[in-house]
A and B are shown apart, each in its own frame.
Chain A
Amino acid sequence: MIRKFHIVAIPIRIVVNKFGDHDPDGMMYALKENESLIQKKVQHHPFTPVDLVEPLVIRANAGDDIEITFENKLPFNTSMHIQDAEYEVFTSDGAFVGINPDTTVKPFDKIVYKWKVNFEGLFFFSDLGNPLSSELGSNVHGLFGALFVEPRGSWWTDPVTGKPIKSGVFADVHNPILPSFREFGWFFHDEMEVDDLTGQKPISPHTLQPEATHAINYRAEPMRNRSRLIQEGVVCPDCEGEEVHHDSWAFGDPDTPILRAYVGDPIKIRLVHAGVQETHAFHYHVHQWLFEPTDQDSELVDAQAISPQTHYTVTPLYGGGSLQGAIGDAIIHCHLYPHFGEGMWGIQRNFDTLQDGSQCYPNGVPIKALQPLPGLPVPSKPTPQRPGFPNFIPGIFGSKAPRPPLGIEGGREATKIEKNHFAPNARPGAVFVNPCIPNVTPEREFHVVLIQRPIIYNKQGWQDPEGRLYVLAEDEEDVLAGRKEPEPLVIRANAGECIRFKYTNKLPETIGGNAFQLVNRTYEAGMHVHFVKFDPLVADGANVGWNYDSGVLPGETIEYQWFADVELKATFWHDHLFPNEHQQHGVFASINIQARGSKFLDSHSGKEINAGTKATITNPLIPDFRELSLFVQDFSLLFDKDGCPLNPPPFPGSPEDPGVMGINYRNEPIQFRLKEPDFDPAYIFSSWVHGDPVTPMLETYNGDPVRIRLLQGAHEESHSFNLHRQRWYRERPDLDSEIDQQQHISISESFTLEFNMEGEGDFDMLYHYGSLDDIWLGNWGIFRTFEKMVPHLIPLKDREAPPTRKDPLPRPTGQKPPMAQQPGKPCPPNAYVRKYDVVALTTRINYNDDGDHDPHGIIFALKDDVHDILEGNVNPEPLILRANVGECVEVTLYNQLDEDAFHHGKEEHGYPDVPVSALFPPSKRISIHAQHVVYDVRYSDGATVGFNQDQTIGQNESITYRWYVDRDFGSANLWDMADIRNHRHHGAFGMLIAEPRGSTYLDPMSREMVYTGSQVVISNPLLYEFREFALLMHDGVRLVDVNGKLILDPEPLLIVSEEELEDFEDQGSRGFNYRAERLSHRITSINDVFKAFSSEGEHGDPSTPLFKAYPGDPLTIRFVFPADRARAHAFVIHGHKFLRSQNDVNSSIVSVKGQNTVGTNDDFLLFYGAGGLLRQPGDYMYRSGNIRWDIELGVWGIIRVLDHETELLAPLKPHSVIMMDQVGGDSE
């Protein structure tokens, strides 16, 4: 079926809330038939949101052809570039790339795009005519939308009227075979250029400083406006602000999306990040869903990180209200607290009574009708005695939400009408639904207290004088008295249990009054939990919509109830009343839900414990394991030992990345681990020199099963957990998911990293959080494993006891450790040994043809290539090594670093800078650490960690590392571990690729064997040949221009930047493979932006790798992210798709990969080969999805699919020819 749409890109004033916050320069896609109506309505309602002003969502069915007549009414070229659909790149790419014709549209012109969609899901489209990062660009102003593709035979209706609709973010979708469902489009978009009612930049009434706005579907409900109503005494005069930010009793409903359903309705949220910069965290209260919606083995999630231009379909299990059938409001928000405060939240509302349009909300606003879904029971009509949610709740509009019945000790009586809505088994903490069955569901009880006490983070006296933490009541005195070290509370329960809480708020009434925070009341707090099943009306630990306020005042105690229906991972909980003020002080915790029948033991004494981040879990049926819970934190508002604030913000209360970081209230900043006389960064991780770090020491015996519970407690940044040597399945329940050694995490996400400790002898492995920012501030630690018995660690009962220890354990000596004397023996004796001689050297790297370069590059190169590099005959590329599965790799590394070529010596490093900067001279030593391979950590880890021996080398020394490639892991990062601060961002990284057994690596032009290179042919006697394109995306680079002038990136194009330097995580240039095709060299005015990617004219092809293939050639992209900052990036490829999890045919088909950060390694096996399904020749862009600032800074390139054979590219050989070649070869 052909579906035709006429779409216009128009300028439009976008009002994002009733307070008049607006983008005067908004832009949107609209259906032509709605264009004049939209403009008229906006003209008549200039200060309030207009319903039709929403991101354009059109719909089709799987298998449909789509024909778009696209008309541009903006003053520059615009386009519609669609992801995931099939299209001809010459006519419908919506971009002007390489040698392709221009498919952007000039002002007041038209084009016809043709797309074909073959599967269900969300197909994001956005403008690529003007992808500028600043307010001059189009995406930041709203020029994006989506095509939602439904199962074949579907149709869609308006949820209010039941009539068919042609567009709209919300619809009820019906199908003759499948159940109907509620479909909600949810477009996150950030950094919108929003003014307040008066046309000024919005000012926070709390800080009196300008504030950003983050939005959903062109709407934002920031706290600042609502707080002003409190300050003016209009509503709730005794309130502070944050505790009622989401309270509809105080303010009425927000203007952000309200996703309405009846309890049990099937729901699909089509979630997309249409914004430009941040990686957000989508969190949906009460509900959980499968990470891969079409894969029953997939990981269960209730929060997901989402990078720009990536998307998911969120299908909550059990529909609206989840398993327990909860009625009421479930907030959906970006969990990054500053964004939450700046407007990025909405509500999913579950009604229990029929809404036919005749009811009103408690503030008198009519409740729009909601058509029941066909095939489901029609909800009962509301009656005066049983009015249904929200009208049975005895609140007063204009005041804070009422407190729940039953739960609060000494609280009020329930009203008669409330009682009419009680569940039959109502009890405190589970009043309106209670999934626990009396006398059947086993119960477990805790009394939790929230307290304040100073927390010291390290031996240098970095401290949080207002540390706030949950503790068990039985530990409160010991923690306050200092007899028990403060750590995030981790409690445990077993699957199938009903967990009953008493919770007492013992916090002081205020916080702050220092360089980080203004004085703020924080008089109310609760326990908001993820994953487990509860009654959100009374036990959400929050104050949301028309629900009750389930926090309590200081001194009050409330009962909550959680039901753990199944074995879960670490289940995050925290306060939801004042999290923006105090979660970064430590208000986060976890309940880890174990398999039924488990017991939780202290790993030291073997006694049963009620709480603790570390435990030994025993179970009579499944193997015992070590459980280690790690909470990473940022925005930690610490002071040094002298009381000076560490990395204070520009003004108190500023969300501009204040403070430092930590793990479980600890950090070990590397600036304190330089030792006289050399101050050599190569030994910062060495326990011989410095003793063990204060960060959590994780300990096991060799062979022990381990589950690391990975959480982020606070507050805004992306972190990247990396662990040396050990590997786990990315989705724990799914054996088809990828094996990994790294995990991106954003706040509120939870991951379980499960593995058995592999290795021999006693050894130490580094764990760290990837980015320079993290490691610099001390987010690293040691995982220690023992071969022989130690007195402080009980053996696992179901494993053979470790042998008795005769030699004493090592102790710090203050001296550098001796060099590792041998590479270890990780390989089977008959494995083929592949040897590489690699040299580390300092050299200039040219990042493009316009003179931008790193004069102080530090690179790895094959020994044979060093001469040409040093002579300037070759502009270096990152080292890419390959080996086949089953092979033993021996890398001999030579150190030829020239210390005179370092960019700084004894002075501070400066830009790209780090928080709490300090003198940190560059190391003259170097090493290579490899991900994914099997090796003996004592000798070939490439890092000098804990009590391991030295595995870095000094100038003119060499070392051999031995790695075994035991499986087809694809891409892996290689990087230096001698100096994270000074080497990595100058290029001290590379890539190792595991190829199928028996493969040879060929030059794509000559088909000669090659030893390195980003573009090769992989030939194999059993498999088809494929082209392999290797990309290393990296940031934090320090470049100078052709005149030797330092480039201070990010440097927005065509405008004068308001800020001198961006946040630390954004400082530095970026690129692919030491190349950056910066748009600043390709365009001079906004009228040229659409031409930026074109190879026509003087600029020609970009300097980034130009990959070549013939139509249909099998293509694999090897992708790693080795360096350097905390900012996460998306990777997008035009016109091609791949499985999100390459070995899992049930995983989603996508054309973008988000959350790329230090340690990311992935492989994209492109469907149908070069040119996609249609095998179209042409230029296909690969690029970052971060419009701010990556694309401008040159993070893009081209895959060129050639239409006819040229001598520049040898064709791939069909399998039959390879076989014949073999026969011929053998006979010679």
Chain B
Amino acid sequence: MDINSLSKQLGIEGGDINAIRQAVVSREFKDNKGQRALILIAPYPFLIIGTIFEVVSDYVVIDAQVTNISELDDERFSIHIDDIEVFYIQKPGRPEIPDIRKEHHD
């Protein structure tokens, strides 16, 4: 079976699906620079809530407000988009990402 038929069979004839996914996710972050995002990643510190600072190739640079670990709050993280398991970007009109520090800062 040639590569074209194989691609067709696998439903990926339109091109490299991983490249597309990377491009789409990167674009989503790029388009929303300056917005708040919630990201779950498998590596430490697992949860990051912060502002999207920049997207460099397939890395998202995020200025964390809150993480799972209070000592890492307010740090800047560079996260490879393949590490991102779940993300949510707070856009106008969408629900606000809560601030879990509130109980001690309000």
A binds B: yes
B94 touches A (CB below 8 Å): no
Query: Which one of A207-215, A436-444, A867-875 is at the interface?
Result: A436-444
Which of chain A's residues have a CB closer than 8 A to the CB of B101?
Answer: 442, 597
A610 touches B (CB below 8 Å): no
- Chain B nearest Cβ from A592, distance in angstroms: 15
Which of chain A's residues have a CB closer than 8 A to the CB of B85?
Answer: none
B16 touches A (CB below 8 Å): no
Task: Select which of A442, A497, A596, A619 is within 8 A of B68 by beta carbon.
Answer: A596
A496 touches B (CB below 8 Å): yes
Residue of B nearest to A444 (CB): B104
B2 touches A (CB below 8 Å): no
Q: Are B69 and A496 in contact (CB under 8 A)?
A: yes
Q: Are B68 and A437 in contact (CB under 8 A)?
A: no
Which of chain B's residues have a CB closer than 8 A to the CB of A494?
Answer: 103
Which of chain A's residues have a CB closer than 8 A to the CB of B47?
Answer: 621
Contacts A620-B98, A621-B98 given; indicate if A599 touches B70 (C-beta within 8 A).
Answer: no
- Chain B nearest Cβ from A617, distance in angstroms: 12
Q: Are B70 and A596 in contact (CB under 8 A)?
A: yes
A495 touches B (CB below 8 Å): yes
Which of chain B's residues have a CB closer than 8 A to the CB of A443?
Answer: 104
User: In the docked arrangement, what's the CA distance between A440 and B73, Å?
Assistant: 9
Task: Select which of A437, A444, A596 is within 8 A of B100 by beta carbon.
Answer: A596
B102 touches A (CB below 8 Å): yes
Q: Are A442 and B102 in contact (CB under 8 A)?
A: no
Mask: chain B, 68-106; 1 = CB below 8 Å from A; 0 = not: 111100000000000000000000000000111111100
User: In the docked arrangement, what's the CA distance between A495 and B101, Å?
Assistant: 11
57-73 of chain B: CB within 8 A of chain A: 66, 68-71
Tally of chain A residues near chain B (CB < 8 A): 17
Q: Are A620 and B100 in contact (CB under 8 A)?
A: yes
User: In the docked arrangement, what's the CA distance between A598 and B103, Å?
Assistant: 8
Q: Are A441 and B100 in contact (CB under 8 A)?
A: no
User: In the docked arrangement, what's the CA distance between A596 and B45, Å?
Assistant: 13
User: In the docked arrangement, what's the CA distance between A442 and B103, Å?
Assistant: 10
Task: Select which of A441, A444, A598, A599 is within 8 A of B71 by beta carbon.
Answer: A441
Q: Are A496 and B98 in contact (CB under 8 A)?
A: no
User: In the docked arrangement, what's the CA distance between A619 and B98, Å?
Assistant: 9
Residue of A nearest to B69 (CB): A496
Mask: chain A, 493-510; 1 = CB below 8 Å from B; 0 = not: 011110000000000000
Which of chain B's residues have a CB closer than 8 A to the CB of A440?
Answer: 70-71
Q: Are A597 and B70 in contact (CB under 8 A)?
A: no
Which of chain B's residues have a CB closer than 8 A to the CB of A437?
Answer: 71
Residue of B nearest to A620 (CB): B98
- Chain A nearest Cβ from B45, distance in angstroms: 10
- Chain A nearest Cβ from B75, distance in angstroms: 11
Q: Are B103 and A599 in contact (CB under 8 A)?
A: yes
Which of chain A's residues have a CB closer than 8 A to the CB of B103?
Answer: 494, 597-599
- Chain A nearest Cβ from B4, distance in angstroms: 36
User: In the docked arrangement, what's the CA distance between A596 and B72, Å?
Assistant: 13
Which of chain A's residues have a CB closer than 8 A to the CB of B70?
Answer: 440-442, 496-497, 596
Residue of A nearest to B74 (CB): A440
- Chain B nearest Cβ from A562, distance in angstroms: 15
Interface centre among B70, B102, B104 (most CB of A within 10 A): B70
User: In the docked arrangement, what's the CA distance between A441 and B100, Å?
Assistant: 14
Which of chain A's residues have a CB closer than 8 A to the CB of B68?
Answer: 495-496, 596
Residue of B nearest to A599 (CB): B103
Which of chain A's residues have a CB closer than 8 A to the CB of B66?
Answer: 596
Q: Are B100 and A621 in contact (CB under 8 A)?
A: yes
Q: Are A619 and B100 in contact (CB under 8 A)?
A: yes
- Chain A nearest Cβ from B21, distance in angstroms: 26
User: In the docked arrangement, what's the CA distance between A496 and B68, Å?
Assistant: 8
User: In the docked arrangement, what's the CA distance between A619 and B66, Å?
Assistant: 14
Which of chain B's residues have a CB closer than 8 A to the CB of A596?
Answer: 66, 68, 70, 100
Which of chain B's residues have a CB closer than 8 A to the CB of A496?
Answer: 68-71
Task: Select which of B38, B69, B71, B102 is within 8 A of A597 by beta carbon.
Answer: B102
User: In the docked arrangement, what's the CA distance between A497 and B68, Å?
Assistant: 11
User: In the docked arrangement, what's the CA distance between A1086 and B69, Å?
Assistant: 63
Which of chain B's residues have a CB closer than 8 A to the CB of A597?
Answer: 98-103
User: In the docked arrangement, what's the CA distance between A596 and B70, Å?
Assistant: 9
- Chain A nearest Cβ from B1, distance in angstroms: 30
User: In the docked arrangement, what's the CA distance between A597 and B101, Å?
Assistant: 6
- Chain A nearest Cβ from B50, distance in angstroms: 14
User: In the docked arrangement, what's the CA distance between A599 and B47, Å?
Assistant: 19
Which of chain A's residues have a CB closer than 8 A to the CB of B102?
Answer: 597
Interface centre among A437, A440, A443, A621 (most CB of B within 10 A): A621
Which of chain A's residues have a CB closer than 8 A to the CB of B104?
Answer: 442-444
User: In the docked arrangement, what's the CA distance between A442 and B104, Å?
Assistant: 7
User: In the docked arrangement, what's the CA distance between A496 and B104, Å?
Assistant: 12
Mask: chain A, 502-524; 1 = CB below 8 Å from B; 0 = not: 00000000000000000000000
User: In the docked arrangement, what's the CA distance between A599 and B99, Å?
Assistant: 13
User: In the docked arrangement, what's the CA distance between A712 and B47, Å?
Assistant: 33
User: In the docked arrangement, what's the CA distance between A236 and B44, Å?
Assistant: 50
- Chain B nearest Cβ from A500, distance in angstroms: 13
User: In the docked arrangement, what's the CA distance between A373 and B41, Å?
Assistant: 35
Which of chain A's residues have a CB closer than 8 A to the CB of B38?
Answer: 621
- Chain B nearest Cβ from A734, distance in angstroms: 16
User: In the docked arrangement, what's the CA distance between A437 and B70, Å?
Assistant: 10
Which of chain A's residues have a CB closer than 8 A to the CB of B71?
Answer: 437, 440-441, 496
Residue of B nearest to A567 (CB): B68
Interface centre among A443, A494, A596 (most CB of B within 10 A): A596
User: In the docked arrangement, what's the CA distance between A709 and B48, Å?
Assistant: 28
Which of chain B's residues have a CB closer than 8 A to the CB of A620?
Answer: 98-100
Which of chain A's residues have a CB closer than 8 A to the CB of B69?
Answer: 496
Which of chain B's residues have a CB closer than 8 A to the CB of A495?
Answer: 68
Residue of B nearest to A597 (CB): B100
Residue of A nearest to B49 (CB): A621
- Chain A nearest Cβ from B41, distance in angstroms: 15
Which of chain B's residues have a CB closer than 8 A to the CB of A598?
Answer: 103
User: In the docked arrangement, what's the CA distance between A443 and B104, Å?
Assistant: 8
Mask: chain A, 810-840; 1 = CB below 8 Å from B; 0 = not: 0000000000000000000000000000000
- Chain B nearest Cβ from A1172, distance in angstroms: 38
37-54 of chain B: CB within 8 A of chain A: 38, 47
Which of chain B's residues have a CB closer than 8 A to the CB of A441?
Answer: 70-71
User: In the docked arrangement, what's the CA distance between A440 and B101, Å?
Assistant: 12
Mask: chain A, 163-184; 1 = CB below 8 Å from B; 0 = not: 0000000000000000000000
User: In the docked arrangement, what's the CA distance between A442 and B100, Å?
Assistant: 12
User: In the docked arrangement, what's the CA distance between A571 and B37, Å?
Assistant: 33
- Chain A nearest Cβ from B66, distance in angstroms: 8
User: In the docked arrangement, what's the CA distance between A495 and B69, Å?
Assistant: 8
- Chain B nearest Cβ from A216, distance in angstroms: 37
Mask: chain A, 745-759; 1 = CB below 8 Å from B; 0 = not: 000000000000000
Lowest 9 CB-CB distances: which A-B pairs, in order? Answer: A597-B100, A620-B98, A496-B70, A442-B104, A596-B100, A440-B71, A620-B100, A599-B103, A441-B70
16 contacts between A and B (CB under 8 A): A440-B71, A442-B70, A442-B101, A443-B104, A444-B104, A494-B103, A495-B68, A496-B69, A596-B66, A597-B100, A597-B101, A597-B103, A599-B103, A620-B99, A620-B100, A621-B100
Give chain B's interface residues, CB within 8 Å of chain A: 38, 47, 66, 68-71, 98-104
Give chain A's interface residues, CB within 8 Å of chain B: 437, 440-444, 494-497, 596-599, 619-621
Given contacts A440-B71, A597-B98, A620-B100, 5 further A-B contacts (CB under 8 A): A442-B101, A496-B71, A596-B68, A597-B102, A598-B103
